[in-house]
């Protein structure tokens, strides 16, 4: 099975008539902490694309980097009896991308997508663009429009170490 990358994201933008800038980095941006450091922005401005299985059905949650997904809220939202985060093999099979580089769009298949309202706090946000060392700038409204995601409240603050 072909692994997707930046090219699929670029093709998606092109199909939408957009000329989006994709920023690439020498260092990894595979998690929100590293991505925020690479960009010099707040961790909350990084968009995490997290794949869950709700009763074995994939759902994608777009979440602020300084938050975690409250699984009980997601369970209630989807009506599922069981919700769990997808393993790396499932992420690759469903989205086409490796963990740490999953963009919020241009997936192998259509995935029900939720965007958490916590991302509205920022004028500019940065999702992955297909690899573990690139991102693209956008804003909440544009990301919502491009992903056709349902706006939800499933965030909970990350626990302090």
Q: 93: domain CATH number?
A: 3.90.960.10
Q: Is residue 147 part of a domain?
A: yes
Claim: this prediction has a pTM higher than 0.85: yes
> Given a cut of 80, is residue 146 above it in pLDDT?
yes
How many domains are contained in the chain?
1
Q: Is residue 65 part of a domain?
A: yes
**Structural domain for 87, as ranges:** 6-16+23-157
CA nearest 11: which of 110, 147, 133, 129? Answer: 129
User: Where residue 2 falls among pLDDT bands split at 50, 70, 90?
Assistant: confident
Do the domain assignments include residue 117?
Answer: yes
Residues 6+ apart with CB under 8 A from 112: 57, 58, 59, 60, 150
Q: Is residue 69 a part of any domain in this protein?
A: yes
| 55 belongs to a structural domain | yes
Whether 1 maps to a domain, the answer reads no
* Residue 52 predicted with pLDDT over 70: yes
């Amino acid at each position: 099975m072909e692994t997707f990358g930046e090219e699929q994201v670029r093709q998606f933008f092109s199909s939408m008539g957009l000329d989006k800038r994709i920023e690439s980095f020498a260092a990894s941006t595979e998690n929100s902490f590293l991505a925020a450091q690479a960009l010099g922005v707040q961790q909350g401005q990084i968009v995490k694309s997290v794949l869950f299985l709700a009763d074995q059905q994939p759902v994608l949650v777009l979440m602020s980097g300084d938050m975690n997904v409250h699984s009980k809220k997601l369970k209630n939202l989807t009506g599922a009896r069981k919700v769990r985060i997808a393993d790396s093999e499932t992420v690759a099979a469903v989205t086409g991308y490796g963990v740490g580089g999953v963009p919020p769009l241009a997936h192998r298949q259509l995935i029900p997508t939720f965007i958490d309202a916590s991302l509205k706090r920022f004028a500019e946000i940065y999702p992955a663009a297909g690899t573990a060392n690139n991102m693209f700038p956008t804003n909440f409204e544009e990301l919502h429009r491009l992903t056709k995601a349902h706006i939800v409240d499933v965030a909970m603050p990350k626990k302090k170490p």
